[in-house]
Structure 1
Amino acid sequence: MYSSATSPTAPRIGTAQRTPTPVAVRRPVAKPVVPARPAGRIEAPGFVPRAGERLLRPRVPQPAGYGAPSAGVAGNWGKVDNAALGTPAVKAALAQITRICPAFSARQVLRQEGAHILITGLIGRTAVVAKCLNPQAVQADRRGVLVDRFRREVAVYRAFVRHRPPVRMPRLVAADHDRCVLVMERIPGRPAAIERHPANAPTPGEVRAILGAVRGLNLWRPPTDVFQQPLDYHFEVARYHSVGQLTDRDAGDLRQLLHGLGHSNWQLNHGDALLTNVMLAPSGPVLLDWEQAGWYLPGYDLAVLWSVLSGDTAARRQISQIAQAGGTLARDAFLVNLVLVLMRELRIHDVPGAGEEARLMIRRLHEDAALARRAVRAAVGTR
């Protein structure tokens, strides 16, 4: 916590009255000024300011994202980026957005690379973010999958209107299921991370808050017919086995654990609980990108967080303790989820031509996968 000091206000000195004989005027002793702390110094936990000191909250840079600060909405909110708004892909997206929100006034483009286009704007005095598919970046062979995922996210947002979740998420403003357009409120805050595998993990307090939000969602019990089961576990095991990422023994161990979990209760999970999909708002963590939400074996979100927090041993220990607190079945489900999540991360990142930093991350993922395999074998041996 940054700190600075304020000088105590000097006492008011009274005016000496004229007297026939000179009288010595006693000057008040000024209070010592507390020296200011060096700029940029971070205080350790438990720091108690001295008398006369005033603590200042550090200014954290706000990357562009869903939750960039929306202060100053009334009046001139943000600077209109005409260059980015004039590209053909963005113009096509704006045409789809204004079909469902004629009052939408675009301001800035947050993202136009990749599968989605994100545009910030105003509807009246309300700051919003519009999300739609990028018609230029989506390849023909993947378009069907991306359309299905986008429509699933629209369905999730609409379901959350009827069944309010116990976690903070952007409020739905408008949606078009057929044209794949989603308009949400823009929440002030900053992303918990700007990289899928961040080099610097969030603070311990932020990690606890994120885990609390995720666990609140996992323990929620909405109607079972509202959400789908996005992951076919047996299919995923067979797929990673067929490409050589899982050995015969690995696949057999996972199938044995899945057989024992056949009658366990499934759990509502976000499905993509990466730190990049978590916004740290003043009111607490906000979960974004709900296209993978649905029913999973217990601990899927915990496995995702464990896989990306490789540099935070304390956070991983805390996640493991939460997973094991539910008993043997919860532990086995977490291990199955963890192996499949790590296989997915290796499939995404372990590609030819990776740089030095990427190779270090891939090495860590292989080490984590070996650790998860050993844990699965130990779990199978105790059944």
Structure 2
Amino acid sequence: MYPAPSPVATRARSRMGGQVSGAPGVDQRPRRARRTGLPLPPGGRLDFAGARGARLRQALLAVHEICPEFNAVRALRDDRHSVTLLGTTSRRAAVATCLLEPSGPRAERLRQEIAVYRGFVRHRPLVRVPALVAADAHQGTLVVDFVPGRTAASHRHPAVPPSAVDLRVVMGALRRLNAWRPPVGFFPHAPSYPAQLSRYHALGLLTDRDVSDLQTLLLGLRVRSGLHGPQELPRQFCHGGSPLTNVVLSPAGPVMVGWEAAGWYLPGYDLATLWVLVGSASLGRRRISQLAQVDGPAGRDAFLVNLMLVLTREIRLCEAAVQRAMRSPSVLPPSGQGVTGALAYGEEQRLLLRRLYDDCALVRRAVRAAVGTR
């Protein structure tokens, strides 16, 4: 589910009797620890000392309840709310995620991801996904196959945009996924666009004019689709998360992971997210926009609504990161670099925030132009 450094991948595969020739495609760039997490131990061993060790033991006990043969090799993530472990089962490498707190947003996201993986057992998507090994939605424990390879980007907003080849692979995977038409009952998650508009407006992130323009575009989409209710909109099955960090470029082809936000969105939601995250890649953005608008005015309007809401969400998250950097820089990533590194991270977030506001102004003009042509 999550790519791992090559020594771990080699060890896990060798225990299964296979070989890894230099761990092809593994991303060697260091990952930044989660904002509330602790530094992971070097190498491939687990450190059970202290409070962190107690969390690892708790996670292992929960995993062994549903998958007794799981043998942990390394902790991939520890953010105090959940633990993700790389290990092996009897015949294959696997990744286990366990919640340490049974409630809260993280718990809901993991339960949503478990529901999606269970749906994939009955209805296979048009993209490759990790196979489900075991899951317990009540306890919040998920075990899936490990996918060797590298992600299209190591961070949600990469400083260097992905290569044209990687971007083309990601766009192809998203296009296949969005063309899939599974039964709605197996994947019920469908975000409310009117509720999002109201929430962002109440937070001061959208103006009265923004809300009016976006509601006009949503009304037009309902009319074109022959729908009537305020919650009824044309929908498309989407991944819903970051396409860059959740597409693993494996030797056998792209594999999509991280399904906690998957569900039914306006058409073009995944492409809108990709457009926002590729940043300064102007050629890549042009290709994404062209692909999103192949269905004509309806595709354009849905893409613009998604763009505006995705940008608003990213601005909200980035502003929160900047405020945390100003309030307590000593607890921010990157870990192991002290206050200086954390302040540098805060500066990165401020530069990102400036770019997001510029993008939002660009999209706002496009939305108003689209409303004016109706």
TM-score, shorter chain, exceeding 0.5: yes
CA distance in 2, matches of 1:68, 1:202: 23
Q: CA deviation at 1:83?
A: 1.1
Q: CA deviation at 1:273?
A: 3.1
Q: CA deviation at 1:196?
A: 1.1
CA distance in 1, matches of 2:4, 2:139: 29
SS, match of residue 157 in structure 1? helix
CA distance 1:84–1:167, shift in 2 (3 Å): farther
Residue 280 of structure 1 pairs with residue 246 of structure 2: no
Tell me the equivalent position of 1:13.
none
Tell me the equivalent position of 2:282.
313
SS, match of residue 107 in structure 1? strand
Q: CA deviation at 1:74?
A: 2.9
Deviates more, 1:346-355 or 1:176-185: 346-355
TM-score (norm 2): 0.79
CA distance in 1, matches of 2:48, 2:272: 37
**Which letter does structure 2 place at the counterpart of 1:109?**
A
Tell me the equivalent position of 1:260.
220
CA distance in 2, matches of 1:317, 1:330: 15
Q: CA deviation at 1:73?
A: 3.2
Bigger relative contact order, structure 1 or 2 (CA pairs below 8 A, ≥6 apart)? 2
Residue 340 of structure 1 pairs with residue 309 of structure 2: yes
1:207-228 residue CA offsets vs partner (Å, 9 max, x unmatched): 1111000010001111122212
Tell me the equivalent position of 1:97.
63
SS, match of residue 225 in structure 1? helix
1:54-95 residue CA offsets vs partner (Å, 9 max, x unmatched): xxxxxxxx7549x95653233699975131587111111111
- Check the 8 A contact 2:151/2:249 in 1, yes or no: yes
Residue 192 of structure 1 pairs with residue 125 of structure 2: no
Residue 183 of structure 1 pairs with residue 143 of structure 2: yes
**Which letter does structure 1 place at the counterpart of 2:57?**
K
What RMSD over aligned residues (CA atoms) do the two structures have, in Å?
2.2
Calculate percent identity across the aligned residue pairs. Answer: 48
SS, match of residue 117 in structure 1? strand
CA distance in 2, matches of 1:76, 1:167: 25
Matches within 5 A, 1:1-383: 64=5, 68=9, 70-74=12-16, 80-83=44-47, 87-113=53-79, 115-135=81-101, 143-262=103-222, 263=227, 265-350=234-319, 351-352=322-323, 353=326, 355-383=346-374
SS, match of residue 194 in structure 1? coil
- Whose Rg is larger? 1
The size of the alignment, in residue pairs, is 315
1:231-262 residue CA offsets vs partner (Å, 9 max, x unmatched): 11001111111111111101100111111122
CA distance in 2, matches of 1:108, 1:75: 19
1:22-47 residue CA offsets vs partner (Å, 9 max, x unmatched): xxxxxxxxxxxxxxxxxxxxxxxxxx
Q: Which has the higher helix share?
A: 2
- Check the 8 A contact 1:230/1:294 in 2, yes or no: yes
1:350-383 residue CA offsets vs partner (Å, 9 max, x unmatched): 2322722221111100000001111110110111
Q: CA deviation at 1:184?
A: 0.4
SS, match of residue 121 in structure 1? strand
Q: CA deviation at 1:299?
A: 0.4
SS, match of residue 166 in structure 1? coil
Residue segments in structure 1 that go unaligned for 5+ positions in a row: 1-61
TM-score (norm 1): 0.78
Residue segments in structure 2 that go unaligned for 5+ positions in a row: 21-42, 228-232, 327-344
Q: CA deviation at 1:328?
A: 0.7
CA distance in 2, matches of 1:84, 1:336: 47
Q: CA deviation at 1:317?
A: 0.4
